[in-house]
Amino acid sequence: MKLKSKKAAAKRFSFTATGKVKFKRTNKRHNLGNKSAARKLKLRAAGYLFDGDVGHIEKCLPYGSK
């Protein structure tokens, strides 16, 4: 039987070729006039989950990890 992916997780996380979990940084959606240019620049970079949190996302996305 096929397993279903958690759609909320699928929209927020993706796997890299080496198996890391990548996500987009928060706080870059609105009120950007109040934030410094340096802060917005740092928010462009992708974030990577810590190893201890990866297992939960792998359960949510059973076909994404491998």
Whether residue 66 has pLDDT greater than 90: no
Residues in the chain: 66
Residue 15: the pLDDT is 95
Residue 22: the pLDDT is 97
Query: Per-residue confidence at 65, pLDDT binned at 50, 70, 90?
Result: confident
**Fold annotation for 7-60:** Factor Xa Inhibitor (4.10.410)
Alpha-carbon span 54 to 22, nearest angstrom: 10
18: tokens are: 């080496």
Residue 31's alpha-carbon distances to 16, 19, 25, 27, 35, in angstroms, are: 31, 34, 15, 9, 7
pLDDT digits (tens, 9 = 90+) for 11-47: 999 999 999 999 999 999 999 999 999 999 999 999 9
